[in-house]
Amino acid sequence: MTRIRIDDAVLDLFPGLAIGVVVARGIDNRGATAGLAAFLEEQVESVRETWSLERLDADPRIGAWRGAYRAFGAKPKKHRSSVENLLRMIIDGVGVPSINAAVDLYNAISLKHVVPIGGDDLDRVAGDVRLTIASGDERFVPLNGTEPVSPRPGEVIYRDDEDVLCRRWNWRECDKSKMAAGSVNVALVVEGLPPIGADEVRRISAELAEGIERFCGGSTFVGRVDLDAPVLDLDGS
């Protein structure tokens, strides 16, 4: 049995946190379809047309994550949430590259709803997944990197029984559990802080699950972890 849990220390800091969890098994992640490419481009174009740095600074959804980062000692101007990083890439004219079907889909939905979304290859995760506070002696190998480093004490991190899966909450993912073309079984997280509440997280998670089945096949189930239910069985039982 593999589970995801939010530790009490995180919920003490962020009692309004709700995380939608989409587990997808038996997917084909080897390539993006024309329909998925069009969906991602639609969201990118919408950002180009309607977002600016001024809007970014004024948006309460972005502000919530900047405040969260400050609360655990990160500097939002240096370390940005995943969704703010995506938005800034487009505003700065860089765009969002195609990675693989599952990643392209969650990037598109992240942009559409302005929420951080990430994921891991479940076949490369060791034991349970925890959202917890770093002690500073954990092992982390960044995405596309080879040398291990450690998080700073006090960071919010995702970790399994062996390694850090993501540093500074959703700032930088690890290399070992990245979703690749050959990934078959994955877990995706939709992260909501007020003003994004549990109901909206549930709707976004359902949209994400529907998209995975449409573009990647396989089967999905949707769950949630929050203050009332901080542990979820990822095997769906």
pLDDT by residue (tens digit) across 71-101? 999 998 899 999 999 999 999 999 899 999 9
Q: List, for residues 116-163, the tens digit of each pLDDT value.
A: 999 999 999 999 999 999 999 999 999 988 888 999 999 999 999 999
The pLDDT confidence band at residue 235, using thresholds 50, 70 and 90, is: confident
pLDDT at 172 exceeding the cut of 90: yes
Q: If you search the block for the tokens 């001024």, which residue do you land on?
A: 54
**Arithmetic mean of pLDDT over the chain:** 96
Give the predicted TM-score (pTM) of the model: 0.96
Mean pLDDT of 206-231: 97
By C-alpha distance, which of 97, 114, 91 is closest to 40?
97
Residue 76 has a pLDDT of 86
Residue for token digits 């995380």? 19
d(CA 35, CA 43): 13
- pLDDT, position 164: 98
Whether residue 148 is preceded by a cis peptide bond, meaning omega within 30 degrees of 0, is: no
**Rounded CA separation 215/199 (Å):** 25
State yes or no: pLDDT of 237 exceeds 80: no
In order of start, what are the domains of the chain with their CATH numbers? Answer: 3-226 (3.50.40.10)
pLDDT for the residue numbered 233: 96
| pLDDT tens figures, 187-216 | 999 999 999 999 999 999 999 999 999 999
Mapping DSSP onto H, E and C, the string for the chain reads CCEEEECHHHHHHCCCCEEEEEEEECCCCCCCCHHHHHHHHHHHHHHHHHCCHHHHHHCHHHHHHHHHHHHCCCCCCCCCCHHHHHHHHHHCCCCCCCCCHHHHHHHHHHHHHCCCEEEEEHHHCCCCEEEEECCCCCCECECCCCCCECCCCCCEEEECCCCEEEECCCCEEECCCCCCCCCCCEEEEEEECCCCCHHHHHHHHHHHHHHHHHHHCCEEEEEEEECCCCEEECCCC
**Res 33: pLDDT:** 83
Residue 111, φ and ψ in degrees, nearest 5: -65, -40
pLDDT at 47: 98
Q: What percentage of the chain carries pLDDT values higher than 90? A: 92
Provide mean pLDDT across the span 40-54: 98
